């Protein structure tokens, strides 16, 4: 825990990113991965295979854009680097520099285009459809990498702390999810959306106790190529109690 606090202090992230909790969550996920590496690596392997499937549907391989790249544990970075001329990694949290490949560009950016507005107004604001990179015509593959369910909830917690109505926050979060789906669809190339959508909880006897939609009940769109698997995200004891949690994952590939 102390190591996580020190990492937060030393982070080069913006005040907004830190205050809204994105930095804290990024650090916590890294710590959880170290504790649950065996359980999480199976999910990462599925992600690699899904992205490799998406590559097969790219007529050209100029630039690959990866949104929500994080630590790249779930991304076959070496393979992508060998296939594409350029790779752009985008994450709201500043990442450690990648020096193993000379065709990778790392960008720290808020893909929702919302966090600064929410932080400054301490209130719900109009949700735009993001436009970053839509004017770059050499992008041949866009990957939304396990980020869809993570976009809104840090802002939701912040808004709740500032007394905003719960129903209004829920609707705001739904708009954030829908805006990202529209954004990905606006690219004129092959797209690959990997996301969790349902979390199943179990008691210590591994009896199912509840299921919850992680996308604020926004349905995922149809895709010609759909892959599915489960992620044992909270093995026994991880969540602070003698219980378990499993996420349903979908990968939606829309060929160019």
* pLDDT for res 8: 39
Predicted model pTM = 0.90
CB atoms inside a 10 Å sphere around CB 251: 24
Cross-strand bridge partners of residue 193: 144, 252
Cross-strand bridge partners of residue 59: none
21 DSSP 8-state letter: T
Interval 27-63: pLDDT, tens: 766 666 677 777 788 999 999 999 999 999 999 999 9
**SS3 label, residue 66:** strand
Interval 177-192: pLDDT, tens: 999 999 999 999 999 9
pLDDT of residue 13 exceeding 60, the answer is no
Q: CB of 106 within 8 A of CB of 86?
A: no
Domain segments of the chain as ranges: 2-254
Closest CA to 17 of 108, 93, 122: 93
* CATH topology for the 2-254 domain: Rossmann fold (3.40.50)
Q: CB of 141 within 8 A of CB of 55?
A: yes
- For the chain, the first-to-last Cα distance in angstroms comes to 45
């Amino acid at each position: 825990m102390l190591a996580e606090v020190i990492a937060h202090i030393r982070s080069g992230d913006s005040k907004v990113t830190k205050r809204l909790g994105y930095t804290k969550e990024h650090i916590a996920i890294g710590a959880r991965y170290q504790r649950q590496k065996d359980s999480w690596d199976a999910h990462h392997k599925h992600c690699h295979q899904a992205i490799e499937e998406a590559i097969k549907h790219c007529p050209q391989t100029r630039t690959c854009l990866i949104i929500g790249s994080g630590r790249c544990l779930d991304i076959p970075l070496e393979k992508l680097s060998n296939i594409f001329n350029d790779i752009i990694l985008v994450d709201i949290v500043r990442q450690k520099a990648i020096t193993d490949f000379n065709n990778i560009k790392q960008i720290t950016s808020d893909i929702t285009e919302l966090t600064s507005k929410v932080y400054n107004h301490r209130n719900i604001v109009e949700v735009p459809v993001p436009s970053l990179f839509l004017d770059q015509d050499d992008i041949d593959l866009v990957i939304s990498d396990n980020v869809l369910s993570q976009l809104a909830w840090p802002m939701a917690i912040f808004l709740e702390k500032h007394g905003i109505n719960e129903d209004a926050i829920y609707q705001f979060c739904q708009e954030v999810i829908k805006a990202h789906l529209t954004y990905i669809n606006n690219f004129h190339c092959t797209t690959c959306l990997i996301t969790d959508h349902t979390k199943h909880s179990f008691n210590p006897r591994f009896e199912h106790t509840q299921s919850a939609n992680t996308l604020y009940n926004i349905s995922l769109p149809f895709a010609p190529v759909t892959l599915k698997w489960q992620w044992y995200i909270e093995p026994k004891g991880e969540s602070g109690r003698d219980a378990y949690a499993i996420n349903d994952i979908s990968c939606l590939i829309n060929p160019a």
